[in-house]
Amino acid sequence: MAILATAGDAFQKTSVDEAYLELSSLGSCDTAVERARRLKAEIVSREGLTASVGIGPNKLVAKIASDFQKPDRLTVVRPEEVQPFLDPLRIRVIPGIGPKTERFLHERHIWTVADLRTLGRTQLAEWLGPRG
């Protein structure tokens, strides 16, 4: 984590092996990709560990992207690619949707992110509570 802690605008460690790094000040997605590749190489060189990296316009998209091609891959989702990237994915890719919520949504014929996107906030709150 020390390698990442000073490599961006902001750093947030979320677990022993997961963190978010803000790179928006770099000015472009291509520059962020270059930085991510250098960081991955440094992690391998110094720690002997691989790293899966997701680059996206927000934390949620970056998290899903980092899980998309594990292990040791770099997945980039540009802002204009978010919906086409997310829509075909199973709802379980969304952090917070565990087995019980997944089963509940499957019973209502909600299988993909695209299916979930068809629901309004009111419906989601009715089914899953205010944080739903």
Catalytic residues: 18
Q: What is the 3-state secondary structure (H, E, C) of the chain?
A: CHHHHCCCCEEEEEECCEEEEECHHHCCHHHHHHHHHHHHHHHHHHHCCCCCEEECCCHHHHHHHHHHCCCCCEEECCHHHHHHHHCCCEHHHCCCCCHHHHHHHHHCCCCEHHHHHCCCHHHHHHHHCCCC
